[in-house]
Chain A
């Protein structure tokens, strides 16, 4: 199975945010809001850190 970096990140964020939301919040509305927040945070932070590291000679 060949997933790109972004696809691997996307599926990881989706699954982990779903479990986190269901574990930490009780009502469906809270779960949806928190799950979306965690999911978007995963993607945003990963992309931001990626761009920050881009000019570094690694």
Chain B
């Protein structure tokens, strides 16, 4: 009896999978997560994870802007910029706000330009991964 109690204490708690929500609700949650990084996890009840994701993405985005990185717009004349735009826009609302205030112009003469631009891309791409993670949780595929 005592041994079994000890075994129970040493074993990790079972992973709890969510009951899947319907597809429309999952997509709505993911849309929220795209607009505000980390919001999808917060909506799914994973507060700590959501806050950490939000801090990571927003700090990375802010560092990218601080290092004079460039935010790319959708320019039809330059089709290769579409990939950069897709990466940038992944960060959601911060991208829209930064564009609104004229941030992210980028200055190639500054040594941190390349780093800043990479930070801005990766912030958006990380947010895509975070949204996919939230979708899996909402569908009950992950604890």
Chain A residues within CB distance 8 Å of chain B: 1-3, 8, 11-12, 15-16, 18-19, 22-23, 26-27, 29
Contacts and interface: CB of A to CB of B under 8 A. Distances in A.
B15 A15 contact: no
A2 B126 contact: no
B67 A8 contact: yes
Nearest to A29: B12
A47 to B, nearest CB: 16
B129 A11 contact: no
B122 A1 contact: no
B130 interface: yes
Contacts of B52: 18, 22
B119 interface: yes
Contacts of A2: 111-112
A16 B126 contact: yes
A26 B143 contact: yes
Majority secondary structure, A binding face:
helix
A26 B130 contact: no
Given A1-B66, A15-B59, A26-B143, 11 more contacts: A1-B112, A3-B112, A3-B115, A11-B60, A12-B60, A19-B53, A19-B56, A19-B126, A22-B49, A23-B129, A29-B12
B130 A19 contact: yes
B53 A12 contact: no
Contacts of A11: 60, 63
The 8 residue pairs across chains A and B that have the minimum distance between CB atoms? A1-B66, A8-B115, A23-B133, A15-B56, A15-B60, A19-B126, A19-B56, A26-B143
